[in-house]
Amino acid sequence: MASSLLFTVRRREPVLVAPAKPTPREVKLLSEIDDQEGLRFQIPVIQFYRYDPSMAGKDPVEVIRKALAKTLVFYYPFAGRLREGAGRKLMVDCTGEGVLFIEADADVTLNQFGDALQPPFPCWEELLYDVPASQGVLNTPLLVIQVTRLKCGGFIFALRLNHTMSDAAGLVLFMSALGEMARGMHQPSIRPVWRRELLNARDPPRVTCTHREYEQVPDTKGTIIPLDDMAHRSFFFGPKEVSAIRGLLPPHLRQCSNFEILTACLWRCRTIALQPESDEEVRIICIVNARAKFDPPLPSGYYGNAFAFPVAVTTAGKLFENPLGYALELVRKAKADVTQEYMHSLADLMVTNGRPHFTVVRSYLVSDVTRAGFGEVDFGWGKPVYGGPAKGGVGAIPGVASFYIPFKNAKGEEGLVIPVCLPSDAMERFVKELDNMLNNHVQLAKRGFIVSSL
């Protein structure tokens, strides 16, 4: 079975790749959205590429390494290091030191991965080496890239990003530029734009919106997920699965987006699986890209974080006892909260409240990267067979997040693959609950709550 696939990766020593030409030596402030506590972590991405006969004789490691040096001339802040100033303000010291680059070879072919081209990936730690002393947020390289050649002539491009620098859309701008330089262009088709001041706090700051996603909730019942016995699984949702969930909804809600419907479904199943007490508050946090919410919109080359974490809050009992439409209405309202004013209010909150972490107690966070463009990144060998987040559950507090990733399954069906991270016993209950829902056997409020032992 591909998920038990074992292979050996031979790595060269990590090297620093600096910009190909001198770049400005300056200090650039991050925005108030960038430097919040909940983004102070590293996020991994992975891309799998097939052998392309038209590229015979070209080495992906060398092509990408050279292109990286050229791309960093335009994206030179990535070659710097983060520093922290007064009031925990983050800034990039544009030192030009460079990003970490690792050359590797694996004794495996792309076909041997079989259906395992979805998170969690076999031998993941070998495909993106955790370079010692590189994990910190401050004073360390902002990007780590490993290119691993495969026996078949294909390759794997894996990257780890300091999330304070960019969100998915911003990272894809950088990766696309890297692809363009690898294919011979002399400058990116979309020029990068720093302009982080566009998402800074107002003077004086004024919090005008409700931001329950940053409420400091005490974890009285010990329900932050333990990390020692975590199960990682991915679930595929194609047209058939989405249609089955849609069929559970009243007619007036059947036109909702796939994201909204799947989010309501997963939130409900996950809450049931975690077995909280019925009076406990539970939260769904939806990542909403705010680029188009601005008038005028943010510049197309803006590669900073430009999203919000709007939240819906209810009790576990209400989520459990009500039909799926109840959860769906909550998800829709949370998404609609995000406006230009909401983003300014959020920036102001960061300054007045000490850059807090979003609430993780009994929270589930979902991020839709289907439109981010990971699947379009081309280094000359065509589009990736898989492109996107390397695993679910990542974050400053692990185990809370899932990504919605575009995916084509073995039958050729287009859909989404969604990695979920839960304690092992909860994962078993989650699978059972999801199966019930997909088979239209939703038994609402027929089971009593079991007091959480988590």
Active site (catalytic) residues: 163, 378
Contacts of 292 (CB under 8 A, 6+ apart): none
* Tokens of residue 157, six digits: 């491009």
Q: Which of 136, 162, 14 is nearest to 77 (CA)?
A: 162
Q: Which of 218, 246, 274 is nearest to 399 (CA)?
A: 274
User: Rounded distance, CA 368 to CA 259, Å?
Assistant: 7
Q: Which of 102, 116, 104, 103 is nearest to 6 (CA)?
A: 116
* Tokens of residue 176, six digits: 């696309």
Q: Which of 111, 144, 65, 62 is nearest to 385 (CA)?
A: 111
* Tokens of residue 363, six digits: 């929270």
- Tokens 């209010």 belong to residue: 345
Amino acid at 334: A
Specify burial of residue 282 (Cβ count, 10 A radius: 0-12, 13-18, 19+): buried
DSSP tag of 140: S
Reduced to 3 states, what is the DSSP secondary structure of residue 292?
Answer: helix
User: Rounded distance, CA 329 to CA 150, Å?
Assistant: 47
How many CA atoms, within 13 angstroms, populate the side-chain half-sphere of residue 143?
Answer: 29
User: Rounded distance, CA 305 to CA 36, Å?
Assistant: 10
* Tokens of residue 139, six digits: 């004073």
What is the maximal distance between C-alpha atoms in the chain?
Answer: 67
What number of other Cβ atoms are within 10 A of residue 102's Cβ?
A: 21
* Tokens of residue 369, six digits: 């990267």
Phi-psi region of 57 (alpha: psi -120 to 50; beta: other; left: phi over 0): left
* Tokens of residue 69, six digits: 């040096």
Question: Torsions phi, psi of 7, nearest 5?
Answer: -155, 165
